[in-house]
Amino acid sequence: MLVLSRHKDQTIMIGDNIEITVVDIRGDKVRVGITAPPNIPVHRKEVYEAIKKENKQASNITLEDISEA
């Protein structure tokens, strides 16, 4: 893991087209803004994990399940 220190309004670049900017710092919370191309999805990790779980469940549907619906 790469750990970087940034101040408010400073940006980190990932590759040529993903920017992560420190928008605000309040106590122990940091707000970041992320600019990425539309073809790169950006999610909070808990949302990403929920999407993966639902996709896995959907891939386990059988032809019987479809015909019953």
**5 in a domain, yes or no?**
no
pLDDT single digits (tens) 23-37: 999 999 999 999 999
The whole-number pLDDT of residue 69 equals 65
Give the pLDDT score at 17. 97
Question: How high is the pLDDT of residue 62?
Answer: 75
Tell me if 3 is assigned to some domain. Answer: no
**What confidence score (pLDDT) does residue 54 get?**
92
* Both tokens assigned to 45: 């990790």
Structural domain count, the chain: 1
Using 70 as the pLDDT threshold, list the residues of the chain that sit under it.
Answer: 69
Q: Report yes or no on 55 lying in a domain.
A: yes
**Residue 16 lies inside a defined structural domain of this protein:** yes
Residue-number span of the structural domain to which 15 is assigned: 11-68
- Determine, yes or no, domain membership for 1: no
Quick one: pLDDT at residue 33?
A: 98
Instruction: Select from 38, 30, 28, 29 the least CA-distant residue to 9.
Output: 30
Is residue 50 in some structural domain? yes
